[in-house]
Amino acid sequence: MANKKSSSLANKVKQKVKQKVRQKTEKEVKKVVRKIPLKYKIAALIVLLLCVVSTFFLPEDPLYESLAKPHDMILAVRNRTIRALHLPISCYGDHAQVLTAGRDPVMIYFAPSPVICPALCEFINNAVSTIDLCAYDLKHHAIADALIHAKNRGIKVRIVTDSDYMKNDAISRLSQAGIPVVQDRSSSLMHNKFVIVDSRYVWTGSYNLTYNCTEKNDNNAISFESPEIAAGYQKRFEQYWNQKFSTKGEVLQDSKQTFIGKIPAQYAFSPVDQVEKILLDQLSNAEKKVDIMAFSFTGAKLAVKLRELMRKGVKVRCIFDVGQSKNKASRDEYLKKIGAKVYYSPNRKGKLHHKVMIIDDKTVITGSYNFSKNAASRNDENILIVHSTSIAAHYTREMNRCIRGIKGY
């Protein structure tokens, strides 16, 4: 008991000594500051403000490799500040366009971002006759507002969603506005996130129409003009509309290899189109490198294919969502053991929700398809494959910024 009292007394003495030292130091600092002429204080304040303002013009990529770490640190702090203050400005290159002959530009969007939701609303607002929207989860009221506004101006609007999200407030508002909504009513997921406008324009990617996917999660979306691809998505939508979900769907008879302007492209729907086989075939074409951004990667065949590629000298780089990597079926540890460069997303406030492969810096595979057994055999999903070095460059840049952790998480 005596030892405890003496220990407590000693701690109090130490705290008092520390307090006196701190007070004395503060007084000395104040004395020094008082002696500094006012003009120098003003100059120092101006320099400080200029330093803060200059960070807003800091380029996303460092000018010199030797400055990469401090550059990324400053960039991350700046972008976190922008998000913390809820400023409606982009923290990074969150959208891009790629020109293609004879068609509207291909538009690419990355999240979290203040740009992606308004872009989808504008995509909807540009409709002249029809909007067919297939959404796993629709919670964002700005998107619901755009759809209701479209319906009120005479556009034919139809919605397909997953039965788990039929009770969302946004879906209820759409139904109350007279917009027909069909749900899948099955144990599998209707996991698509695509929109078809005027049977000519398509929006697809990993972006769920929710606040989290807008403001927290790493996502991508791509929109483009292609009547041929739109027709394929339209046919699949009609199957959903007629309750042909999951394995009840029918294989489309028309060719799924087509173009966006002059950009070669291909699309497919899971589970009926054997998407896993298509992915394996695309990976077989890899000669130099494969980059993967994946929310979920549990596919055994895909992991084995990557091992086969690495044995041939192909470099494999992956970034995974932290939460999903804890899944026992996740292949991240296996990929590390066989020599792939594996990163875990620094996004701790949201999820790395991408489902992307980039092959040899010229082929991009995106869509709703998680690289999992359920996605391959049960869930309703779509993939889009585009062969374009320009589009691949934008997705590679997104992967690099996800690895660097500069997006303002």
In degrees rounded to 5, what are phi and psi of residue 2?
Answer: -65, -40
Query: Token pair for residue 353?
Result: 């929700």
Q: At what angle do helices 141-152 and 169-176 cross, to 10 degrees?
A: 10
Catalytic residue from among 193, 305, 355, 394: 193
The sign of the torsion formed by the CA atoms of 132, 256, 353, 271 equals positive
The HSE-up count of residue 75 (CA atoms within 13 Å, CB side) is: 22
SS3 letters across 242-262: CCCCHHHCCCCCCCCEEEECC
Is residue 292 within 8 A of residue 396, CB to CB? The reply is no
Query: Residues 72, 104, 198, 360: which is the catalytic one?
Result: 198
How many angstroms separate the CA atoms of 62 and 75, rounded?
10
Find out whether 390 and 364 touch, Cβ atoms under 8 Å.
Answer: no
Catalytic residue from among 71, 191, 256, 351: 191
Half-sphere exposure (Cβ direction) of 141: Cα atoms closer than 13 Å: 3
Is 151 in the active site? no
Cα R_g (the chain), whole angstroms: 26
Dihedral of alpha carbons 296, 301, 186, 124, sign: positive
- The count of other CB atoms within 10 Å of the CB of residue 38 is 7
> Can 193 be counted among the known catalytic residues?
yes
Return the active site residues.
191, 193, 198
